[in-house]
Structure 1
């Protein structure tokens, strides 16, 4: 969710390692995939009904772990139909990881991929410069809305790319989740890198309503164990804190007072304790925007 570099390349270098550690420790992708398989299968069938082919756009797709699973679901609900997929991702390192994953996933051999290694804003400029604008049946923006410069413009543009009966799926941290509390409480200290304005589901919904767009909002409950974050000698804990605050080294990036305040906030207002363990509230929202 967080980043410590420019939006176009925020997932690169050592940050990729911290991101992978976060995914392993948090199980976030598992929570999202559980929702996708249980709640989106019927949505995919509805979108693909009576269509000879499908066009899918992934924005900020990272290493492609979620995309590959969703494309497999598309294939099972749209058997035999051609699927063209465009991927917009600012990190060349993660794009290479995505390509490697596709190469070893034989079931995706019949899917055509177009790669765009750029930010969503750069992609928007590129598309608008063309006379023939490609449109899509399904567009997903998973955990990436934090990095865009203009939320309203980004949503309006991507919603305009939907074909008839299409959907734009935005997955974002829930309002009043631990992320929301942490990043808004320490806005001045945290919103100085890849994320300059923190947004959770409340901001996304307000933007949609201001534009008069139709949408559906679904809850994805999620939490993960951050007990190690309170052990000063834990390498795992420091790496998690570094990712959660968007800094390369949490222990070196803030004053002792700020670090202590953040840790107290994480324990007291962002988490719950069970059996001596601390579980961070990482609830998500899935927002499906209509064409």
Structure 2
């Protein structure tokens, strides 16, 4: 469910143990990062984004929940290629010290980005918001991106409204999140009570995010990122890969030990018959995403 393992707010996402193993297996099998990056290539080089750098003497980018920086560095590389003569400054909000160090190590391998000044904010999204408001900071950004991080905030509308308020004229807020009516959406809303009991206390999809955007009067465009995950091993008794995937997908520590037989049977039935399609005997889970680009201007309600 989460493409970048990240600890935010008071809720700490599991970074380690079986959760991390399951996450790595999920990323490998679903190729989610590849799907996201391909979409970002299309979006960031489109006509709408040309206005971000038009006539600008410099650009300022904010990554929220940047994790180990795989997405951030790609975004910055695309922007650098699109506006090679425009200096780019970067702010990063990421509460995990370990992931921040991995981000810095990744930067060290990318000479084209090393001249960019980085401001590191090792704090949660809520802490950053409080800091900005308490300090009365006026820093604004041409691009703010939030990839798979809204699960861990308590006030969805308030968080979106705050970061939208930090945009410059012609700036863009880019949100990548799990799509509406996908396998994730069906699974976690059907079993909301049973699954939303640990790191995530509630579940929202891109459909829910769009409801908040409309209530805030914000203009946006959406692009669907089709993607599937082969979960056939989840139905093979004794499969370690299947168990790891189930652990990650349901945020359990050993799916078959943690849940009752009735609950396990219900989840497996839902995964096969409601969340997936079967092709050539393989069960393909719908893990499509949504890329939502929000304009700095708002509409009148």
For residues 237-274 of structure 1, give each alpha carbon's deviation from its aligned partner in whole angstroms, at most 9, with x where no partner exists: 11111111112322222111111111110000000011
Q: Matches of 1:87 and 1:4 in 2, distance apart?
A: 13
Secondary structure in 2 aligned to 1:9? coil
Alignment equivalent of 2:41, drawn from 27, 37, 42: 37
Q: Would you say 1:110 and 2:115 are equivalent positions?
A: yes
Q: Does 1:252 align with 2:242?
A: no
Q: Is residue 2:25 matched to residue 1:21?
A: yes
C-alpha separation in 1, matches of 2:285 and 2:116: 38
Q: Pick from 9, 12, 16: which aligns with 2:12?
A: 9
CA positional deviation for 1:97: 1.5
CA distance in 2, matches of 1:93, 1:130: 27
Instruction: Give the drift of 1:12.
Output: 2.0
Distance 2:63 2:138 in 1: 16
CA contact (8 A) 2:7 2:96 kept: no
Check whether the contact 1:11–1:91 (CA below 8 A) recurs between aligned residues.
no
- The aligned runs of 1:1-291 (5 Å cut-off) are 1-2=1-2, 7=9, 9-14=12-17, 15-42=19-46, 43-291=48-296
SS at match of 2:117: strand
Give distance in 1, aligned partners of 2:247 and 2:75: 29
* Number of the residue aligned with 2:299: none
Quick check: 2:182–2:287 contact (8 Å CA) kept in 1? yes
Deviations 1:47-85 (A, max 9, x none): 111101111111111111111111100100010321111
Gapped runs of 5+ residues in structure 2?
Answer: 297-301
Counterparts of 1:208 and 1:59, CA distance in 2:
18
Structure 1 residue 4: deviation in Å? 11
Query: Could you tell me how far apart the structure 2 residues matched to 1:184 and 1:110 are?
Result: 45
> How far did residue 285 of structure 1 move?
1.0
Measure how far apart 1:286 and its partner are.
1.0
Change (3 A) 1:168 1:4: closer
TM-score norm. by structure 2 comes to 0.92
Q: Quick one: distance in 2 between partners of 1:90 and 1:266? A: 32
- Secondary structure in 1 aligned to 2:290? strand
Partner Cα separation in structure 1 for residue 155 and residue 8 of structure 2: 15
Q: Which moved more, 1:85-94 or 1:173-182?
A: 85-94
Task: Write the distance in 2 (CA, Å) between the matches of 1:215 and 1:16.
Answer: 33
* Structure 1 runs of 4+ with >6 Å offset: 3-6
Q: What is the CA distance between 1:11 and its match in structure 2?
A: 4.5
For 1:168 and 1:82, how far apart are their aligned partners in 2? 20
Q: CA 1:11–1:169 in 2, change beyond 3 Å: closer, same or farther?
A: farther
d(CA) in 2 for partners of 1:238 and 1:22?
Answer: 12
Contact persistence 1:177–1:283 (CA under 8 A): yes
C-alpha RMSD of matched pairs (Å): 1.7
